[in-house]
Amino acid sequence: MPYKASNINIIDVEFDKHRSSDGVPYLINRNVLKQDELEFMAGYDRQKDSALTSIKGNLKELKPKNILTDLCPILKWLPEYPLKKNLTNDIISGLTVAVMHIPQGMAYGLLAGVDPIVGLYMAFFPTLIYVLFGTSRHISMGTFAVVSIMTSKIVATYSDPNYGSVISNLTQTMSEDGNPVYPYSPFQVATAVTMVCGFYQIIMSILRLGILSSLLSEALVNGFTTAAAFHVLTSQLKDVLGLKLPRHKGAFKIILSLKDMVMNITNANPNAIYIAVACIAFMITMNEFIKPWASKKCKFPIPAELMAVVGFTIASYTLNLGGPIYKVRIVGNIPTGLPIPTMPPFELLQLVAIDAIAVCIVSYSINMSMAKIFAKKEYYEVRPNQELLALGFSNIFGSFFSCIPLCCSLSRSLIQYQAGGKTQLTSVISASIILTVLLWFGPLFETLPRATLAGIIIVALKGMFMQIKDLKRFTKEGILETAEWIGTFLTVIIIDIDIGLLTGVIISILALYIKGLKSYSSMLGQVPNTDIYVDLKTHKNAIELQHVKIFHYSGSINFATCSGFKKELFDNIGINQRVIRRASLCESQSEARNFNNNLKTLIIDLGSVAHIDMSGYRTFMEIKNDMKLISVNVFLANASDCVYDSLTHAACLGHPAFECFSTVHDAVLYATNKSDL
């Protein structure tokens, strides 16, 4: 079909004060263009590739070499590894992180409800698998406080605290509080959770669901981790006090745990309190004063946590703190060597399947948050779906070796980056150091007081507690962000971690829905002597055109928003449904025109409309019919390709077509010239 432009010319506009670099004035000199004319001139092809064509194209791009390097990124970066530039930094960073892994791993292993040695397994088995498949170069994988405390909840629910006792295994089926007792060890439950998390993450990767991490907004994650820090603190207070208390499951765990501590405070062990207070004082002194001073003198950070572990282990061994005199609870037996690969019980996988969902999502979201931070600083790409695959493989492999779910540590990752780590070779160096500890040096820490590990964990929570200050920032961002933070925080604190996370996700989804429904509308006026149209309320020099009103709308126009769109339009142009009804009763058009205040043309600017459905199109038709009653023409302008496609599709289905112009100015000139004819 031959192209034929509208038979109206735009008047040449010359800007005397605004000239190009070569002194030539800017001119506008072309025909008024309707949208279909513009699409013809630009050669717009509305036909999209079929699904089969897209699949064939993707298959052509796939090569065996690309598949292998995409699946296993180490095959791509390791052959190109610059030894002279990066090796020294990676070795120093690996040694530094290994030193942190020992105390943190033991502490967070204990926090997860399993033996401290599990934390060291975490720094070796799954970490090496992540090196093969992960895309982040700087995060330090292993144990993390929030994931450990979430795992401990599942361990407490499905494991028997007296596992190994003949009486417990054969006769006891109900606990004193009426909850069932399952015949599984804490190790079995923890590894079952790890395996299920791994399967979930691989399935999510296959389904390309890496984008789901975006459901956990910054406000949600901030409120969740801050509240989780209180769970971690509460879980450690019993070791600080030297008390052995029953484990609480389900809702109001913090409240019930604090109640038990208060009721049993007279049974507290003063020696454990002295050790914890001394450890906390030492760590605060090192972190707040010595480390900042030393960081200016040398690149290698002071291993304060390891110094505390070694010092209190020696003191405990020398004074026999775990003996009958002092009665301090110690770490106890730490086996040497590597664990024998063991498959978690199959029936246990079914039991923990629901509970593991929250652990899976939280660990992945924290990983992606940290990975994106470092990737942005160092200008490289982190692939969300590949990260899911790396976590999935790491967790499944780790589940055979007594590991809990894998996650990066915020503090260790920061130290790894600050120590100069360039690639995941840092993790290989760190894992090698941990291997020597597992094979030979583990039993040296058997006399370490648990109160020492509790003190290290409590001090490490400072950063998470300080996140409370971020609430002020979220209140400035908006009421929805504030609601996400407060709702998640209070639910996690008062009820439980998994319920709090679910609450936060629901609030986050509602916030997204509300933001999607939220719109912005305004009436536009012309900047004098230009083809630019701006909001009349906020631009005092803009002028409103005679007989023409231009309505600008920002948002989607669909079944959920179309009624609000219509109401905003009528409110802005000063015409309501009562006027339309009265005009419909008039016997002549001249009489009906008296209701429109000399308005002849209504232009709807669609430049900020992202989507329109059939309900939205029918709303346009209603507006057009209503405006026709008062002799007002309705034009559309500035539609994006996807919106224009929707309008064209609706017209093809038998609905009357709209006159749609390429720009607002085209519509204005067309309306002005038409009214003058």
Q: Report which DSSP code applies to 388.
A: H
Neighbour count for residue 92 (Cβ, 10 Å): 17
- pTM greater than 0.85 (yes/no): no
Domain's final residue, options 513, 540, 564: 513
Closest CA to 492 of 579, 604, 362: 362
Q: Pairing relation of β-strands 601-608 and 633-637? A: parallel
pLDDT surpassing 70 at residue 80? yes
Question: What pLDDT does residue 398 have?
Answer: 96
Q: What single letter denotes the amino acid at residue 185?
A: S
Strand partners, 100: none
Tokens encoding 256: 């019930």
Is residue 557 located within the same domain as residue 454?
no
- Does pLDDT of 459 surpass 80? yes
Give residue for tokens 């609870």: 329
Residue that is last in its domain, among 466, 489, 513: 513
Gap between the Cα atoms of 652 and 622, Å rounded: 18
Question: 36 vs 344, which has greater pLDDT?
Answer: 344
SS3 string, 484-535, reads HHHHHHHHHHHCCHHHHHHHHHHHHHHHHHHHHHCCEEEEEEECCCCCCEEE
The whole-number pLDDT of residue 675 equals 61
Average pLDDT across the chain, whole number: 83
The answer to whether residues 496 and 528 belong to one domain is no
**Domain assignment of residue 504, yes or no:** yes
Task: Report pLDDT for 20.
Answer: 43
Is residue 157 located within the same domain as residue 105? yes
Within 10 angstroms of residue 91's Cβ, the number of other Cβ atoms is 15
In a domain, 73, yes or no: no
Answer whether 114's CB lies under 8 Å from 190's CB: yes
DSSP state of 655: P
CA triplet 412, 414, 418: central angle to 5 degrees?
A: 115
Kindly state the percentage of the chain with pLDDT values over 70: 85
Q: Is 424 exposed, middle or buried (0-12, 13-18, 19+ CB in 10 A)?
A: buried
Residues 435 and 499 in one domain: yes
Alpha helices in 4-82 (DSSP H): 35-42, 51-61, 64-71, 74-77
Q: How far apart are CA 394 and CA 400, in angstroms?
A: 10
Check whether 432 has a pLDDT greater than 90: yes
Residue 527 maps to which CATH number? 3.30.750.24
The residue among 395 and 304 whose pLDDT is bigger is 395
DSSP β-ladder status, 533-535 and 633-637: unpaired
pLDDT at 347 over 80: yes
The predicted model gives 474-485 an average pLDDT of 89
Would you state the pLDDT for residue 391? 96
Calculate mean pLDDT across residues 560-579. 85
Is 587 among the domain residues? Answer: yes
**Domain boundary residue among 463, 492, 513?**
513
Query: Residue 403 is inside which H or E element, if any?
Result: none
Classify residue 46: in a domain, yes or no.
no
| CA-wise closest residue to 117 among 393, 518, 529, 404 | 404
Taking residues 649-670, what's their average pLDDT? 81
Query: Per-residue confidence at 316, pLDDT binned at 50, 70, 90?
Result: very high
Do 181 and 173 meet the contact criterion of CB atoms below 8 Å apart? yes
Task: State the total domains in the chain.
Answer: 2
More confident residue, 338 or 419: 338
pLDDT at position 661 over 50: yes
> Three-state SS for 345?
coil
Within-domain flag for 69: no
Q: How confident is the model at residue 16 (pLDDT cuts 50, 70, 90)?
A: very low
- Spell out the residues 6+ positions from residue 144 whose beta carbon is closer than 8 angstroms to its own: 108, 363, 366, 407, 408, 409, 410
Secondary structure of residue 63 in the 3-state scheme: coil
Determine the pLDDT at residue 211: 76
Distance between CA 267 and CA 12 in Å, rounded? 92
Whether residue 275 is found in the same domain as residue 367: yes
Instruction: Write the DSSP string, 414-462.
Output: HHHHHTT--STHHHHHHHHHHHHIIIIIGGGGTT-BHHHHHHHHHHHTH
Q: Which of 68, 418, 93 is nearest to 78 (CA)?
A: 68
532 is a domain residue: yes
Alpha-carbon Rg for the chain in angstroms = 33
The CA-based angle 415-421-422, given to 5 degrees, is 145
Measured from the Cβ of residue 281, the count of other Cβ atoms closer than 10 Å reads 12
Token pair, residue 208, equals 């390309």
Do residue 370 and residue 456 come from a single domain?
yes
Give me the domain span that covers residue 235. 85-162+180-513
pLDDT tops 80 at residue 586: no
What spatial distance separates the first Cα and last Cα of the chain, rounded to whole Å? 28
Average pLDDT rounded to a whole number, residues 649-677: 78
Residue 15 clears pLDDT 50, i.e. is over it: no
Give the residue-averaged pLDDT of 424-443: 92
Q: For residue 654, name the pLDDT band (cuts at 50, 70, 90).
A: low
- Look at phi and psi of residue 387 and say left if phi exceeds 0, alpha if psi is from -120 to 50, else beta: alpha
Q: How far is CA 434 from the centre of its chain?
A: 31
For every residue of 624-643, DSSP letters joined together read HHHHHHTT-EEEEE---HHH
Rounded mean pLDDT, 439-463: 89
pLDDT tens by residue, 167-223:
344 444 555 555 666 788 899 999 999 999 999 999 999 988 887 766 678 888 889
What phi, psi does 314 have (nearest 5°)? Answer: -65, -45
Q: Which of 283, 276, 219 is nearest to 411 (CA)?
A: 283
8 A C-beta contact, residue 568 and residue 547: no
Quick check: helix, strand or coil at residue 669?
Answer: helix
CB atoms within 10 A of CB 582: 14
pLDDT in tens, 501-520: 889 888 988 887 777 777 88
* pLDDT band (50, 70, 90) for residue 3: very low
State mean pLDDT over 447-464: 89
pLDDT at 119: 92
pLDDT digits (tens, 9 = 90+) for 588-638: 666 656 666 678 899 999 999 988 888 888 899 989 988 888 888 999 999
In a shared domain, residues 502 and 555? no
Q: How confident is the model at residue 365 (pLDDT cuts 50, 70, 90)?
A: confident
Whether the per-residue pLDDT at 56 is higher than 60: the answer is: no
| pLDDT value for 493 | 92
Measured CA to CA, the distance from residue 90 to residue 295 in angstroms comes to: 18
> Does residue 315 carry a pLDDT above 90?
yes
Tell me what pLDDT residue 53 has.
54
Q: Which residue has the tokens 């800017």?
A: 26
The values of phi and psi at residue 554, to 5°, are -120, 115
Pair (199, 256) in one structural domain = yes
Q: Distance (Å, rounded) from C-alpha 651 to C-alpha 640?
A: 17
Give pLDDT, residue 64: 62
Q: Average pLDDT in the 405-428 region?
A: 87
Residues 189 and 293 in one domain: yes
Distance CA 13, CA 137 (A): 56
Closest C-alpha among 336, 328, 353, 301 to residue 195: 353
Q: Cα(274)–Cα(409) distance, rounded to whole angstroms? A: 28
Identify the DSSP state of 407: E
Q: Are residues 498 and 539 in the same domain?
A: no
Distance CA 225, CA 217 (A): 12
pLDDT of residue 209: 85
**What pLDDT score does 21 carry?**
46
Residues 6 or more apart from 226 whose CB is under 8 A from it?
464, 465, 467, 468, 489
Q: How far is CA 642 from CA 25, 47, 444, in A?
A: 35, 12, 68
Helix (H, G, I), strand (E, B) or coil at 535: strand
Closest CA to 570 of 523, 531, 530: 523
Q: Which pLDDT does position 265 carry in this prediction? A: 92
CB 140 within 8 A of CB 416: yes
Does any domain span residue 198? yes
Contact of 224 with 474, CB cutoff 8 Å: no
Structure token pair of residue 592: 């009906």
Question: Are 355 and 399 in the same domain?
Answer: yes
Is residue 282 pLDDT above 90, yes or no? yes
For residue 11, name the pLDDT band (cuts at 50, 70, 90). Answer: very low
Residue type, 164: G
Here the tokens at position 608 are 């900020």
Q: Which among 510, 487, 509, 491 has a CA at the least distance from the CA of 500?
A: 491
∠ CA 469-472-477 to the nearest 5 degrees? 135
Are 458 and 532 part of one and the same domain? no
Q: Residue 31: inside a domain, yes or no?
A: no
